A and B are shown apart, each in its own frame.
Chain A
Amino acid sequence: MVTRVIEFKNVSLVYPNGHQGLKNINLKINDGEFVVVVGMSGAGKSTLIRSINRMVTPTEGELLIDNENILSYKEKHLRKLRTEVGMIFQNYNLVKRMSVLRNVMAGRLGHTGTLRSMLGLFPQEDLQMAMGNLNRVGIQEKAYVRADQLSGGQQQRVSIARVLTQQPKVILADEPVASLDPPTSHKVMKDLRRVSKEDNLTTLVNLHFIDMAQEYADRIIGLRDGEVVFDGPIDQVSEKTFEEIYGRPIKEDDLLGGDES
């Protein structure tokens, strides 16, 4: 049975310019947990998340996924790791001129041979899966539309479908709703939480807005200056917790509002 446990053991990261992005992080994220990471801009949220698929590499400590230290991975293992850890981006990162379906299939590249993928010869069951995943986020009818003809919310759903088609164990989402308006943000977050629970995927999401974090998270991790300053289940979280994480009183700006549920 696959477990999807992520464990940080004394992880630190110093950027080449000497900036310390992460300071001695110790965390254990459990199978199927939906974790939201919060913190001020520059706190190290992206750095933390991007360490897990090695888009950045911590300089100290151990980072274990399924009890394997991923920090020692080289080229080949690294690509294997990345097929198992899906990522969702703030700016969707779709190829605008490509059809939605092709964009979704881009998530399948790690599982497909180089030559086959270059010729666009994907197995039929992969295409079926892609369509199924588009259906799960409610935009199957857009499959052959060019990505730039979709609204922001629809584009982010395409990137959710892409990540699902990758069949990952873990999903990382770096501010997935920061470019969307409040009602759309809520819809996308609901979709993301739903599919992640359905497939029992361990999920880490960076969020800016504390009301969103509170609404969708199982557990919240607070970062400040590259350090974990809070870590606890959602029922232990109050406004006071956020004031501690941010190191200042909560302001209007920290709330998204507009919850349409």
Chain B
Amino acid sequence: MNSNEKISLRKGMTKKGKYTSYLILLILSILYITAFATTPFSVSGSAASPLDTLRRIFIVPITTMDYIVQFPEYIGYMLETIAIAYAGVAVATILAVPVAFLAARNTAKRFSYVGKSILNAIRAIPELIFAIIFVAAVGIGPYAGVLAISINSIGMLGKLYAEVIESIDSSNVDAIKASGGNRIQAMWYGVLPQVLPEFSSYSIYRFEIDVRASTVLGIVGAGGIGAPLILATYQRAWEDVGMILIVVVVFVSIIDFFSGKIRKKLV
């Protein structure tokens, strides 16, 4: 073996490979340089010390009676938040099904891109923007929040459902048709049992996300715990922010725990 030749761990790159990596490096440098140049990193020293603020957020609310008695009020807001998420995801679950069939390659054939584009467009809009639009259109209140959550959830559920539909094993549909079943029977006994557990599982998963998403809605008047949150922020009432944080963490944890259990059972 020729030991004069130096061996390196990686082979010398091809020309094309070199250009590609230079190009990637260039794009990344431009992105980061621009970002560094245009982001104001200045931090105006706030009056209060961070330690005191932390104490006001995390310690005071659970140690002072005046604040502890206010928890039920925030729990009420949290329940409204959960109701918005639940009502929203329920509607979305039903409406996402037809959209998903429109987006799945094996059911919509050539037109699947129509459904896919609609779903992509929906997912490119943050729930807050939907909330702003619905508040402007139907007025302040949780009703606007439910609308925002439903349409936003359709974007994700439709996509996930479509993937489930695309992965359907068509052999048992054929089997039902072969034994003389009609289309409806083929759907009911062939397709539904395959997709139902996964559909439900995804809806429950989306519910977890929507509970978090619904906490935001209140800042534009679409109901839920976001409303007292934004108020507390403007008033710099960090103790109230702390209480809201605790309520949200506790409720979201409980919901995550149970929905995780249910989803495990489903699939």
A binding-site residues for B, Cβ under 8 Å: 99, 101-102, 105, 120, 122, 124, 127-128, 130-132, 135, 140, 143-144
| B10 and A99 within 8 A (CB) | yes
Digit string of B223-260 for contact with A (CB within 8 Å is 1, else 0)?
Answer: 00000000000000000000000000000000000000
Smallest CB gap from A99: residue in B: B10
Q: Which of B129-186 contact A (CB under 8 A)?
A: none
Partner of B9, one of A102, A128, A132, A135: A102
Most chain A C-beta atoms within 10 Å of own C-beta, residue among B3, B6, B7, B8: B7
Q: Which of B1, B8, B9: most chain A CB closer than 10 A?
A: B9
In the complex formed, the residue of B with least CB distance to A121 is: B9
Smallest CB separation, B17 vs chain A (Å): 12
Which of chain A's residues have a CB closer than 8 A to the CB of B3?
128
B10→A128 contact, CB < 8 A = no
Is B1 touching A122 in the complex (CB atoms < 8 A)? no
**Can you list 20 A-B contacts with CB-CB less than 8 angstroms, sorted by A residue number?**
A99-B10, A99-B11, A101-B7, A101-B9, A102-B9, A105-B9, A124-B6, A124-B7, A127-B8, A127-B9, A128-B1, A128-B3, A130-B7, A131-B1, A131-B7, A132-B1, A140-B1, A143-B11, A144-B10, A144-B11
Bound-state Cα–Cα, A127 to B10, Å: 11
Interface residues of B (CB under 8 A from A): 1, 3, 6-11
List of B residues within 8 angstroms of A144 by Cβ? 10-11
CA distance in complex: A132, B6 (Å): 13
Tell me how far the C-beta of A138 lies from the nearest C-beta in chain B, rounded to whole angstroms. 13
CA distance A99 to B7 in the complex (A): 14
Chain B's closest residue to A134 (CB) is B1
Given A99-B11, A127-B9, A128-B3, 8 new contacts (CB under 8 A): A99-B10, A101-B7, A105-B9, A124-B6, A124-B7, A131-B1, A135-B1, A144-B11
Majority-rule SS of A interface residues: helix
On whether the beta carbons of B6 and A120 are closer than 8 Å, the reply is no
Expressed in whole angstroms, the Cα–Cα distance for A101 and B7 within the complex equals 10
Residues of chain A contacted by B10 (CB below 8 angstroms) = 99, 144
CB distance from A98 to the nearest CB of B (A): 10
- Give the docked Cα–Cα distance between A120 and B3 (Å): 20
Which 9 pairs from chain A and chain B are nearest by CB?
A: A144-B11, A127-B7, A120-B9, A132-B1, A128-B3, A131-B7, A135-B1, A128-B7, A102-B9
**Chain A, residue nearest B12 (CB):** A144
A185 to chain B, nearest CB (A): 28
**Chain A minimum-CB-distance residue to B6:** A124
A122 touches B9 (CB 8 A): yes
For residue B1, which residues in chain A have a CB less than 8 angstroms away from its CB? 128, 131-132, 135, 140
Q: How far apart sit A128 and B1, CA to CA, in the bound complex (Å)?
A: 9
Nearest-CB residue, chain A, relative to B7: A127
Determine the chain A residues whose CB is within 8 A of the CB of B9 once the complex forms: 101-102, 105, 120, 122, 127
Query: Would you give the shortest CB distance from B14 to chain A, in whole angstroms?
Result: 11
Q: Which residues does chain B contribute within 8 Å of A128, judged by CB atoms?
A: 1, 3, 7
B215 to chain A, nearest CB (A): 40
B8: chain A residues at CB < 8 Å are 127
A130 closest partner in B (C-beta)? B7
Which A residue sits closest to B9, measured CB to CB?
A120
A251 to B248, CA, bound (A): 67
Neighbouring B residues of A140 by C-beta, 8 Å: 1
Nearest-CB distance from B11 to chain A (Å)? 4
A131 to B11, alpha carbons, bound, how many Å? 13
A147 to B10 alpha-carbon distance, docked (Å)? 14
Contacts of A132 in B (CB 8 A): 1
Which residue in chain B gives the minimum CB-CB distance to A140?
A: B1
Which B residues touch A105, using CB under 8 A?
9
Q: Which residue of B lies closest to A128 (CB)?
A: B3
- How far, in Å, is B9 (CB) from chain A's closest CB? 5
CA distance A105 to B1 in the complex (A): 18
Q: Which residue among B1, B6, B10 has the maximum number of chain A CB atoms within 10 Å of its CB?
A: B1
A104 CB, nearest partner CB in chain B, Å: 10
A105 to chain B, nearest CB (A): 7
Bound CA–CA A135/B2 (angstroms): 11
Q: Tell me the bound Cα distance from A87 to B1 in angstroms.
A: 26
The CA-CA distance from A54 to B170 in the complex, in Å, is 51
On chain B, the residues within 8 Å of A124 by CB distance are 6-7
**Identity of the chain B residue whose Cβ is nearest the Cβ of A135 in the assembled complex:** B1
* Residues on the B chain within 8 Å of A131, using CB: 1, 7
The residue in chain A whose Cβ has the minimal distance to the Cβ of B11 is: A144
| Chain B residues positioned under 8 Å from A135 (CB to CB) | 1
Q: List residues of chain B with CB within 8 A of the CB of A99.
A: 10-11
